[in-house]
């Protein structure tokens, strides 16, 4: 895990992460047993942390996320999802990580509502702001240069 993920783990504590529940155990089990590429596994587990936090932030109406935290969080979310897309476009035989995480209609609706909550917190110019803060290399915050260069079907 890189420094950015560690900082998000600290923010997770501030907003209160829901305990690892049956859904998380099922997702982790699924990834362990169905994903063969080690880089994709690594990114899948980082994505799960970020997706869990997104749902936690949205679900905890007692805590308000600041505009700065919302912006930084959205940069992490977009970054991990860009990385997943890149990996999955090269690893076509691997299962869809996001589809497995958002495995029900209710989960998918909650995810979209949570994203909208973050966007509203950031404000009207969120897209330009987020794009300007994204890492220059897709997956650069999540994988080493060697891991990125050596992504191929196993």
Using the predicted structure, report yes or no on whether residue 64 has a pLDDT greater than 80: yes
> What digits encode the pLDDT tens for the residues 46-56?
999 999 999 98
Residue 154: CA count within 13 A, CB half-sphere: 13
Q: What confidence tier does 22 reach under pLDDT thresholds 50, 70, 90?
A: low
Using the predicted structure, report yes or no on whether residue 9 has a pLDDT greater than 90: no
* pLDDT at site 57: 86
The domain segmentation of the chain, as residue ranges, is 17-150
More confident position, 16 or 107:
107
pTM of the predicted model as reported, rounded to 2 decimal places = 0.78
Q: Please give the structure tokens belonging to residue 132.
A: 């300007």
* pLDDT at site 145: 82
> What digits encode the pLDDT tens for the residues 82-139?
999 999 999 999 999 999 999 999 999 999 999 999 888 887 777 777 888 787 777 8
Residue owning tokens 């990996």:
87
Give the SS3 label for residue 4: helix
Query: Mean pLDDT throughout 52-74?
Result: 86
**Residues 6+ positions from 98 with CB-CB distance below 8 Å:** 47, 81, 84
């Amino acid at each position: 895990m890189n420094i950015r993920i560690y900082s998000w783990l600290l923010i997770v504590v501030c907003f209160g992460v829901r305990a690892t529940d049956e859904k998380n155990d099922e997702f982790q089990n699924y990834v362990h047993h169905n994903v063969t590429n080690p880089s994709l596994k690594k990114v899948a587990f980082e994505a799960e942390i970020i997706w869990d936090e997104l749902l936690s932030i949205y679900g905890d109406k007692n805590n308000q996320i600041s505009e700065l935290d919302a912006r930084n969080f959205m940069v992490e979310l977009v970054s991990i999802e860009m990385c997943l897309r890149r990996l999955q476009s090269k690893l076509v035989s691997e299962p869809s990580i996001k589809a497995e995480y958002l495995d029900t209609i209710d989960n998918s609706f909650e995810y979209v509502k949570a994203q909208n909550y973050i966007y509203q917190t950031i404000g009207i110019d969120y897209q330009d702001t987020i794009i300007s803060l994204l890492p220059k290399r897709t997956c650069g915050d999540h994988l080493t240069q060697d891991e990125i260069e050596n992504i191929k079907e196993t």
